[in-house]
Structure 1
Amino acid sequence: MSETGTIMNRHIILSNKLLVALSGISTWTSRDGEYTYEKHNYHISKPYLEQKWTKSAIRQFLAYVSLANPEGHIYFASEEELSKLIHCSVRTIQENNKSFEKHGIIQFQRIWGEFLDIHICDYTKEVRDLDVTDSGEVSSRTGYTSVWHEVMGELFKIENINELRLALRCLLLHEKEVHVQQLDEAILSYDEIKGFLPKYIGYKKAIKQLTDNLSNIFHISCLESKEMVKELFHRQTKKRPSLMKKLAKPFALSFEIMKSDDSRLIRDKERGETMIHWFEFKKTARNYLAVDKAGINQKDLNTLSDTYGSSVVKEGLERILRVFEQNEYGHRLHILYDEFKSEPYQFVKKRIHSLYLSKSALM
């Protein structure tokens, strides 16, 4: 946690079209015998096409998304702390902000000294790729990728811009092929790699060098021997009809994000744990509170889990129980009863949030 109280989100949601824009729009247009253009297929907006995505600009915008609240706002952001987070100078932070604002990507205002109020423009549309209809229905054109905050921290450390671009593409493809299509691993073909990386990187030795520094995020293999390709073909050809086209050239990358860093796996596991903690809380709290009448719905439990983590939720619920068990508030205890009864979710969230802040301050 920073001195300003700004904390990275645990699960960082990035629209797939944003990952395409940041990693470099592919020049490889021929797919399955047809011409296709990523900037059209992913509906990438003009500001993101015109912005020059340098290494520092990519990392800085990823930092903003990581720190922003659900409305795309970052309050009281420190330029000094941002520079430390993404490993660049304060001057670079300032220059990138000017460029982002010029292109209509962010709006920012200097509050005092080094502290800024930052708002990501069209956050719901550009970062989350969500479209809300008049009837209130929410839909996504291109989908999204969920990134674990520790993986984002590793991205901030990458010094080579092409390694960073490759990492972002791998995250995108892993989401599409492993989580959506439920394949064992994702495969990035030689043509796909050459499509979004500069021409001077478009040969096997250079690409293999880029993968060396990504081993702390992905289990990654270079498919170039006959034995490896043959084994993969027999194992996945039924699940993956397009495999033959992926392996048309004698080189490809096979990769899978480490299980301990997979945001979706972590999220699903913690949501299950949080539900158990809530049931345990209700079982004991019946002695003190009307928990059956004033419950918390599944959506709000998921929000608590995703925002704070199941272990913090558990500790927060245990602390709430101790307050009632030990009658620490004396004659004022009835105020807490009434507060819980009227707004159970806000009552629980406020105390878990306070606990989370205190723990983050020690990190």
Structure 2
Amino acid sequence: MMSLVLKRHTLIANKLLVALSGVSRQTKRDNTYYYEQHAMGIAKNFLNIKWTKSLIKQVLAYMAKCDSQGRIALMSEEELAATIDCSVRTVQNNNKALEEHDIIQWDRLWGEYIQVSFVGYLENFLDLHKKDQDDVPADAATSIESVLDKYHSKSGYTSISDEVIYELLKVENINMLRIALRALYAYESEVNVKRDTEALLSYTEVKNVLPSYIGYKAAIKKMVNRLTSIFHVNVLEKDDCVKALFEEKQPRKSTIEKIKDGFILSFNLVGPFNSKRQKQLEKVQAERLFEGFKSFFKQFGDYSIKRTDIHALVHEFGLDMMERTIDSSKSFIKELFLHEDPSSLRKLVHEMESNLFMYMKKIANGYYQAKINAL
């Protein structure tokens, strides 16, 4: 059974990561009361539903498949079930539960194929709110990044690479999955935003999102040590907390509060899994690729493509797929030119000149699907 082909990078609201991981029962911080559900603006329907392992994975898969308006035009229930490791019946029951709680809408097209749309996608799943009604385009954007400046965010959002999503969908223990989602939220907040070198979760922070039967240190340590396919994890206890976080750094007030627990989990994303950093590098490298292709193509014709479309392509398929796409396009043009097939060459050049973005997307999509199915 084939796995679902997911987007290269998925934006997920921090408040959704919090809701899926379990809203913290801790209400007092720094001698003030802090209610996470209110501070993050989590809607009641996301709190009222019982988030099982398969439900969490199904929502993650939908997030990693939907377009910039939160819609999935066509999806196989069988492929989804195989990807999140559950039965088709479970997928169907989950869809009913999500619809009953006004989280998704869905319709059966035929057989195993359905279409899905998130309810209030921008507000509930990306935490994006319109700055001005007149500034927001009515039709679907090429990518959500292209309209981000038209919105403001309350709790922020996290960009997650497809490698990380696939690893999350493999996690077999729901409490491991909850910790991983919490760690991703902490990483966005502390590393990507505050520029710390690692994300830190204290024993209190972890314990208060887990069921009471699993919230003891030995069990937590065992679970996080099984997340090494996603994170570099260090467990700091007692004196280690003080030495690592006081002597080597200048901790902020929030870090000092965590140290008091005497048990801290330190997370760093493995290798290229930092989606935000990866996207920045991909933008620059993709622009260079297209500059090189334009120099090659000018002997046959002239095309135009927006920088935002270049970024959308590389973010959707990855730099390696774009390199293959451009190389194969060059080879195809050369082959037609050398074999003196002017009719086919003119047709190809015209297709590229008319809409290079759609041409490249069609070719890259084929390579990307083959790559995912080979995993």
**Equivalent pair of 1:316/1:352 in contact (CA under 8 Å):** yes
Secondary structure in 2 aligned to 1:63?
helix
- Counterpart selection for 2:300 from 288, 292, 303: 288
TM normalised by structure 2 equals 0.88
- Counterpart selection for 1:101 from 99, 102, 109: 99
Give the 3 Å change call, closer, same or farther, for CA 304–204 of structure 1 in structure 2.
same
Q: 1:154 offset after TM fit, Å?
A: 1.8
* Aligned pairs for 1:239-254 within 5 A: 240-254=252-266
Q: 1:360 offset after TM fit, Å?
A: 4.7
The 2-side partners of 1:219 and 1:361 are apart by 27
Secondary structure in 2 aligned to 1:145?
strand
TM normalised by structure 1 equals 0.91
- Sequence identity, in percent? 38
- Counterpart selection for 1:89 from 87, 90, 105: 87
Secondary structure in 2 aligned to 1:56?
helix
Partner of 2:14: 16
* Aligned pairs for 1:211-226 within 5 A: 211-226=224-239
The 2-side partners of 1:244 and 1:352 are apart by 48
Q: 1:112 offset after TM fit, Å?
A: 1.8
Is 1:143 aligned to residue 156 of structure 2? yes
Secondary structure in 1 aligned to 2:108?
strand
Give the 3 Å change call, closer, same or farther, for CA 355–98 of structure 1 in structure 2.
same
Is 1:316 aligned to residue 325 of structure 2? yes
Amino acid at match of 1:269: L
Secondary structure in 2 aligned to 1:252?
strand
**Equivalent pair of 1:259/1:265 in contact (CA under 8 Å):** no
Amino acid at match of 1:204: K
Is 1:327 aligned to residue 336 of structure 2? yes
Secondary structure in 2 aligned to 1:327?
helix
Q: 1:361 offset after TM fit, Å?
A: 5.3
The 2-side partners of 1:347 and 1:60 are apart by 31
Give the 3 Å change call, closer, same or farther, for CA 331–61 of structure 1 in structure 2.
same
**Equivalent pair of 1:233/1:243 in contact (CA under 8 Å):** no
The 1-side partners of 2:80 and 2:253 are apart by 45
**Equivalent pair of 1:13/1:145 in contact (CA under 8 Å):** yes
- Counterpart selection for 1:204 from 201, 217, 222: 217
Secondary structure in 2 aligned to 1:184?
coil
Secondary structure in 2 aligned to 1:191?
helix
Amino acid at match of 2:246: F
Partner of 1:174: 187
Partner of 2:314: 305
Secondary structure in 2 aligned to 1:75?
strand
What residue ranges of structure 1 are gaps of 5+ in the alignment? none
Is 1:275 aligned to residue 287 of structure 2? yes
**Equivalent pair of 2:272/2:278 in contact (CA under 8 Å):** yes
- Counterpart selection for 1:164 from 163, 166, 177: 177
**Equivalent pair of 2:241/2:259 in contact (CA under 8 Å):** no
Q: 1:306 offset after TM fit, Å?
A: 0.4
The 2-side partners of 1:203 and 1:360 are apart by 38
Please provide the CA RMSD for this pair. 2.2
Is 1:189 aligned to residue 202 of structure 2? yes
Q: 1:191 offset after TM fit, Å?
A: 1.9
Partner of 2:271: 259
- Counterpart selection for 1:115 from 113, 132, 152: 113
CA deviations on 1:59-94 (whole Å, 9 max, x unpaired) are: 111111122222222233222222211111222112
Q: 1:354 offset after TM fit, Å?
A: 4.2
What residue ranges of structure 2 are gaps of 5+ in the alignment? 137-149
The 2-side partners of 1:212 and 1:348 are apart by 41
Give the 3 Å change call, closer, same or farther, for CA 184–97 of structure 1 in structure 2.
same
